[in-house]
Structure 1
Amino acid sequence: MGEPVTVNIPHKLGAAEAKSRIGSGIHRLSDIIPGASMTDHHWEGDHLHFTLEAIGQRIVADMHVREDEVYALFDLPPMLAMFANKIKAKLQKEAPKMLE
Protein backbone atom coordinates (compact mmCIF):
# COMPACT_ATOMS: atom_id res chain seq x y z
CA MET A 1 0.00 0.00 0.00
CA GLY A 2 1.16 3.49 -0.83
CA GLU A 3 1.13 6.83 0.89
CA PRO A 4 -1.98 8.95 0.28
CA VAL A 5 -1.32 12.65 -0.32
CA THR A 6 -4.33 14.97 -0.25
CA VAL A 7 -4.60 18.59 -1.32
CA ASN A 8 -7.54 20.99 -1.17
CA ILE A 9 -7.45 23.75 -3.77
CA PRO A 10 -9.95 26.53 -2.98
CA HIS A 11 -11.44 28.55 -5.84
CA LYS A 12 -14.33 30.89 -6.66
CA LEU A 13 -15.00 29.65 -10.18
CA GLY A 14 -17.92 27.32 -9.69
CA ALA A 15 -17.69 23.62 -10.52
CA ALA A 16 -18.24 23.88 -14.29
CA GLU A 17 -15.54 26.51 -14.86
CA ALA A 18 -13.08 24.77 -12.52
CA LYS A 19 -13.64 21.50 -14.36
CA SER A 20 -13.04 23.22 -17.71
CA ARG A 21 -9.81 24.81 -16.53
CA ILE A 22 -8.55 21.58 -15.01
CA GLY A 23 -9.26 19.81 -18.29
CA SER A 24 -7.15 22.42 -20.10
CA GLY A 25 -4.32 22.35 -17.56
CA ILE A 26 -4.15 18.67 -16.60
CA HIS A 27 -0.86 18.29 -18.47
CA ARG A 28 0.80 20.48 -15.80
CA LEU A 29 0.45 17.73 -13.21
CA SER A 30 3.16 15.62 -14.78
CA ASP A 31 5.58 18.52 -14.18
CA ILE A 32 5.07 18.29 -10.42
CA ILE A 33 6.95 15.00 -10.14
CA PRO A 34 10.27 15.00 -12.01
CA GLY A 35 10.28 12.53 -14.88
CA ALA A 36 6.56 11.79 -14.57
CA SER A 37 4.23 11.34 -17.50
CA MET A 38 0.47 11.05 -17.60
CA THR A 39 -0.56 7.67 -18.94
CA ASP A 40 -4.33 7.88 -18.50
CA HIS A 41 -7.06 10.33 -17.54
CA HIS A 42 -10.84 10.34 -17.76
CA TRP A 43 -13.79 12.15 -16.23
CA GLU A 44 -16.69 10.51 -14.40
CA GLY A 45 -19.05 13.37 -13.65
CA ASP A 46 -17.11 15.83 -11.50
CA HIS A 47 -14.35 13.32 -10.73
CA LEU A 48 -11.15 13.25 -12.75
CA HIS A 49 -9.30 9.95 -12.50
CA PHE A 50 -5.75 9.85 -13.79
CA THR A 51 -2.52 7.90 -13.63
CA LEU A 52 1.02 9.22 -13.64
CA GLU A 53 4.13 7.11 -14.11
CA ALA A 54 7.51 8.16 -12.72
CA ILE A 55 10.74 6.18 -12.42
CA GLY A 56 8.87 2.98 -13.12
CA GLN A 57 6.29 3.71 -10.43
CA ARG A 58 2.56 4.22 -10.93
CA ILE A 59 0.69 7.02 -9.14
CA VAL A 60 -3.09 6.67 -9.15
CA ALA A 61 -4.89 9.94 -8.49
CA ASP A 62 -8.37 11.41 -8.28
CA MET A 63 -9.68 15.00 -8.29
CA HIS A 64 -13.17 15.85 -7.13
CA VAL A 65 -14.32 19.23 -8.41
CA ARG A 66 -16.71 21.06 -6.10
CA GLU A 67 -18.31 24.52 -6.36
CA ASP A 68 -15.65 26.16 -4.17
CA GLU A 69 -12.74 23.72 -4.03
CA VAL A 70 -10.98 20.87 -5.74
CA TYR A 71 -10.10 17.92 -3.53
CA ALA A 72 -7.18 15.91 -4.89
CA LEU A 73 -5.90 12.54 -3.72
CA PHE A 74 -2.64 11.06 -4.96
CA ASP A 75 -1.78 7.50 -3.93
CA LEU A 76 2.01 7.33 -3.96
CA PRO A 77 3.64 3.91 -4.29
CA PRO A 78 6.08 2.91 -1.52
CA MET A 79 9.15 3.97 -3.49
CA LEU A 80 7.81 7.53 -3.86
CA ALA A 81 6.22 7.67 -0.39
CA MET A 82 9.50 8.89 1.11
CA PHE A 83 8.99 12.07 -0.93
CA ALA A 84 5.35 12.56 0.15
CA ASN A 85 5.96 15.84 2.02
CA LYS A 86 7.93 17.36 -0.87
CA ILE A 87 5.34 16.21 -3.41
CA LYS A 88 2.50 17.61 -1.28
CA ALA A 89 4.26 20.97 -0.93
CA LYS A 90 4.81 21.17 -4.68
CA LEU A 91 1.19 20.17 -5.36
CA GLN A 92 -0.09 22.90 -3.03
CA LYS A 93 2.04 25.44 -4.87
CA GLU A 94 1.57 24.29 -8.48
CA ALA A 95 -1.91 22.69 -8.64
CA PRO A 96 -3.77 26.03 -8.22
CA LYS A 97 -2.15 27.19 -11.49
CA MET A 98 -4.45 24.75 -13.33
CA LEU A 99 -7.36 26.97 -12.30
CA GLU A 100 -5.85 30.22 -13.62
Structure 2
Amino acid sequence: MIDIPHTLGRDEAKRRMERGVGKLASHIPGGAATVTHSWLSAERLALTVATMGVEVPCTVDAEDNRLRVTLHLPGMLSLMSGPIAAIVEKQGERLMLADKTDRTI
Protein backbone atom coordinates (compact mmCIF):
# COMPACT_ATOMS: atom_id res chain seq x y z
CA MET A 1 0.00 0.00 0.00
CA ILE A 2 1.10 3.51 -0.78
CA ASP A 3 -0.34 6.53 1.01
CA ILE A 4 -0.38 9.89 -0.74
CA PRO A 5 -1.26 12.61 1.79
CA HIS A 6 -3.45 15.59 0.88
CA THR A 7 -5.43 18.34 2.57
CA LEU A 8 -8.30 18.45 0.07
CA GLY A 9 -10.93 16.38 1.83
CA ARG A 10 -12.46 13.23 0.40
CA ASP A 11 -14.92 14.83 -2.05
CA GLU A 12 -12.38 17.17 -3.65
CA ALA A 13 -9.79 14.39 -3.89
CA LYS A 14 -12.36 12.21 -5.67
CA ARG A 15 -13.29 15.03 -8.05
CA ARG A 16 -9.64 15.52 -8.96
CA MET A 17 -9.14 11.79 -9.41
CA GLU A 18 -12.07 11.77 -11.83
CA ARG A 19 -10.53 14.61 -13.82
CA GLY A 20 -7.02 13.13 -13.88
CA VAL A 21 -7.54 9.42 -14.49
CA GLY A 22 -7.81 9.89 -18.26
CA LYS A 23 -4.32 11.41 -18.35
CA LEU A 24 -2.66 8.61 -16.40
CA ALA A 25 -1.51 6.49 -19.37
CA SER A 26 0.56 9.35 -20.80
CA HIS A 27 2.65 9.44 -17.60
CA ILE A 28 3.67 5.78 -17.66
CA PRO A 29 7.17 5.12 -19.03
CA GLY A 30 7.39 3.34 -22.36
CA GLY A 31 4.61 5.26 -24.08
CA ALA A 32 2.50 2.21 -24.91
CA ALA A 33 0.40 1.89 -21.76
CA THR A 34 -3.35 1.64 -21.61
CA VAL A 35 -5.36 2.31 -18.48
CA THR A 36 -8.86 1.07 -17.88
CA HIS A 37 -10.81 2.21 -14.85
CA SER A 38 -14.13 1.93 -13.08
CA TRP A 39 -15.56 3.17 -9.82
CA LEU A 40 -16.21 0.30 -7.41
CA SER A 41 -17.83 2.61 -4.88
CA ALA A 42 -18.19 6.33 -4.25
CA GLU A 43 -14.58 6.55 -3.03
CA ARG A 44 -12.82 3.54 -4.60
CA LEU A 45 -11.36 3.64 -8.10
CA ALA A 46 -10.19 0.40 -9.74
CA LEU A 47 -7.49 0.70 -12.39
CA THR A 48 -5.70 -1.75 -14.63
CA VAL A 49 -2.51 -0.54 -16.24
CA ALA A 50 -1.39 -2.64 -19.20
CA THR A 51 1.97 -2.21 -20.91
CA MET A 52 4.39 -4.51 -22.71
CA GLY A 53 2.13 -7.53 -22.16
CA VAL A 54 1.84 -7.03 -18.40
CA GLU A 55 -1.29 -5.96 -16.54
CA VAL A 56 -1.12 -4.31 -13.12
CA PRO A 57 -4.44 -4.02 -11.31
CA CYS A 58 -4.73 -1.49 -8.52
CA THR A 59 -7.22 0.40 -6.43
CA VAL A 60 -7.17 3.98 -5.22
CA ASP A 61 -9.25 4.87 -2.18
CA ALA A 62 -10.06 8.55 -1.61
CA GLU A 63 -9.95 9.29 2.10
CA ASP A 64 -10.27 12.57 4.00
CA ASN A 65 -6.54 13.21 4.20
CA ARG A 66 -4.87 10.69 1.88
CA LEU A 67 -5.18 8.55 -1.21
CA ARG A 68 -4.48 4.91 -0.45
CA VAL A 69 -3.07 3.13 -3.50
CA THR A 70 -2.92 -0.65 -3.55
CA LEU A 71 -0.94 -2.23 -6.40
CA HIS A 72 -1.08 -5.92 -7.25
CA LEU A 73 2.27 -6.47 -8.95
CA PRO A 74 2.59 -9.71 -10.91
CA GLY A 75 5.61 -12.03 -10.86
CA MET A 76 8.79 -10.32 -11.91
CA LEU A 77 7.46 -6.82 -11.28
CA SER A 78 7.19 -7.63 -7.59
CA LEU A 79 11.00 -7.56 -7.52
CA MET A 80 10.77 -3.87 -8.44
CA SER A 81 8.09 -2.99 -5.89
CA GLY A 82 10.34 -0.44 -4.13
CA PRO A 83 11.13 1.67 -7.21
CA ILE A 84 7.54 1.36 -8.47
CA ALA A 85 6.17 2.53 -5.12
CA ALA A 86 8.60 5.48 -5.15
CA ILE A 87 7.37 6.55 -8.60
CA VAL A 88 3.72 6.26 -7.53
CA GLU A 89 4.40 8.30 -4.39
CA LYS A 90 6.35 10.97 -6.25
CA GLN A 91 3.92 11.33 -9.13
CA GLY A 92 0.67 10.64 -7.25
CA GLU A 93 -0.08 14.16 -6.15
CA ARG A 94 0.82 15.63 -9.51
CA LEU A 95 -1.11 13.06 -11.54
CA MET A 96 -4.22 12.58 -9.44
CA LEU A 97 -4.58 15.63 -7.24
CA ALA A 98 -3.17 18.56 -9.20
CA ASP A 99 -5.89 20.90 -10.37
CA LYS A 100 -4.83 23.26 -13.15
CA THR A 101 -7.82 25.47 -12.39
CA ASP A 102 -6.30 26.43 -9.02
CA ARG A 103 -4.46 29.75 -9.33
CA THR A 104 -2.15 30.99 -6.62
CA ILE A 105 -0.39 34.36 -6.91
2:79 to 79, 82, 86: 82
Structure 2 counterpart SS, 1:49: strand
Could you list the runs of 4 or more consecutive aligned residues of structure 1 that deviate by over 6 angstroms after TM superposition? none
Q: Is the 8 A contact 1:32 1:90 kept in 2?
A: no
2:37 is aligned to 41
Q: How does 1:61-72 map to 2 (within 5 A)?
A: 61-72=58-69
Structure-2 separation of matches of 1:88 and 1:27: 21
Q: Is the 8 A contact 1:22 1:99 kept in 2?
A: yes
Higher relative contact order (CA 8 A, sep 6+): 1
Structure-1 separation of matches of 2:76 and 2:33: 14
Identity %: 29
Matched, 1:19 2:17: no
Q: Is the 8 A contact 1:36 1:53 kept in 2?
A: yes
Paired positions, count? 94
Structure-1 separation of matches of 2:10 and 2:59: 16
Aligned CA distance change for structure 1 residues 28 and 41 (closer, same or farther; 3 Å): same
TM-score (norm 1): 0.84
Q: Give unmatched runs, 5+ long, in structure 1.
A: 1-5
Aligned CA distance change for structure 1 residues 78 and 33 (closer, same or farther; 3 Å): farther
Structure-1 separation of matches of 2:18 and 2:3: 17
Matched residue type, 1:26? V
Structure-2 separation of matches of 1:36 and 1:74: 16
The Cα of 1:28 is off from its aligned counterpart by: 4.3
Q: Give unmatched runs, 5+ long, in structure 2.
A: 99-105
